[in-house]
Amino acid sequence: MTQKTRQPNGASSIHQAKDGRWHGYVTVGVKDDGRTDRRHVTSKTRAEITKKVRELERQRDAGNVRKAGQTWTVQTWLAHWVENIAALHVSENTIDGYRVAVYHHLTPGLGAHRLAKLEPEHLERFYKKMRDNGSAAGTAHQAHRTVRAALNEAVRRRHITVNPATIAKAPRLEEEEVEPYSVEEVQRILLEAERHRNTARWVIALALGLRQGEVLGLQWTDVDWEAGVIRVSRGRLRPRYQHGCGNRCGRKLGYCPQRINTRRETKDTKSRAGKRPIGIPEELMKLLRRHKEEQDRERRIARDLWVEKGYVFTSPTGEPLNPNTDYHKWKDLLKAADVRDGRLHDARHTAATVLLILGVPDAIVDAIMGWEPGKSARMRRRYQHLTGRVLQDTADKIGGLLWPVHTQASQGI
């Protein structure tokens, strides 16, 4: 016989079917089409089914019941999230990173899982497999950050109730200690830079610490010659190409002779602190004036081939510099100057450390580097390095305070 506990319309119900299994039904809300969203659970015993029904009621009352509708897999959700949600709300550079993580790592490694069944242990095993297969710790960590962001959105939309990526242990990421270039190394780099086009580009990087995109995005209207100031307000974006030949050339997108850039050239700085004026040393102002004269000469030589866009640093025909080309120029510059290899971003670390050596107040350092007030202390710790010069200057100050007589005597005072 079938035993059934009848309840008023809309209330939870429990009954035992002919096969002996117990079934429970709980109304949790209304579906998108207006019909009642009534969920079903089953178990072998009345005690177990009662427990499941009560748990589902608790989730309903707390607003944590998974939304009815499409049964997502990790693959379908990640593709939907990255193209239809994230792409509309994050910068071009950020979405590029998300797409690499989604399509090259997360989808092949986790895509077959049902979204609601994904567990923290699945993620942890996936991260370990990435590292075992040769992926860098930073790559695994980027995959973790991406899936965490995607699943946070799935929770917010009630496709899942808990984000397993917030429970899983993130891949261990040991921040590599950056060794800024010494004053002597900077001088050698700048001496070599005088033999190349766009000399001032490298002076600005090493002296002022502007990010690559900020330097390449500078326009002449950002230079205030009278005040001796440049105003940072935008950054250069990496081009994204598509074939202009109908894919007949057989080459990669970036090497198509008729390639078309589908991305805007620049974007505004991502924070209010990033949009900032920076005072320019007189020697750099002189260098910028010479650079402008040289650009005027190149414009005359290029004639009709010149594309006037107002950028400070350009190709010989006026186009803004490609960040990838700029990066390789930096590597060539280091090699020619016989200076140890390093990232282009190390120039920013170097400039921040020079400000530390000079004893520039923190508030001014933050303004020059474009750091937000809430993050500035952490950023100073990351970018300002305790070099031998800094440590020795500090030691001298301590000695002068504690042993002033001895110090003065040793100096013949």
Domain residues of the chain, as ranges?
A: 4-62, 74-166, 238-262
Q: Per DSSP, which regions of 158-275 are E strands?
A: 223-224, 229-232, 234-236, 241-242, 260-261, 266-268
The first and second tokens of residue 285, run together, are 């102002």
Give the pLDDT of residue 1: 43
Q: Mean pLDDT, to the nearest integer, of 75-81?
A: 95
Neighbours of 37 (CB within 10 A): 17
Write the class of the CATH domain 74-166: mainly alpha
Collapsing DSSP to helix, strand or coil, 267 comes out as: strand
Confidence of residue 165 (pLDDT cuts 50, 70, 90): very high
Q: What residues contact 407, with CB distance under 8 A and at least 6 apart? A: 399, 400
Residue that the structure tokens 């797409």 belong to? 99
Neighbours of 166 (CB within 10 A): 12
CB 113 within 8 A of CB 74: yes
- Quick one: what percent of the chain has pLDDT higher than 90? 56
Mean of all residue pLDDT scores within the chain: 88
Give the pLDDT of residue 177: 75
pLDDT digits (tens, 9 = 90+) for 257-299: 888 888 888 988 878 888 999 999 999 999 999 999 999 999 9
CB 413 within 8 A of CB 379: no
Give the pLDDT of residue 161: 87
The first and second tokens of residue 53, run together, are 């029904």
Give the pLDDT of residue 188: 94
pLDDT digits (tens, 9 = 90+) for 16-43: 988 889 998 888 777 766 778 788 889 9
Give the pLDDT of residue 240: 84
pLDDT digits (tens, 9 = 90+) for 363-376: 989 999 999 888 88
Rounded to an integer, what distance in angstroms lies between the CA atom of residue 368 and that of residue 352? 9
User: CA of 156: how far to CAs of 20, 73, 98, 159, 249, in Å?
Assistant: 38, 17, 19, 8, 45
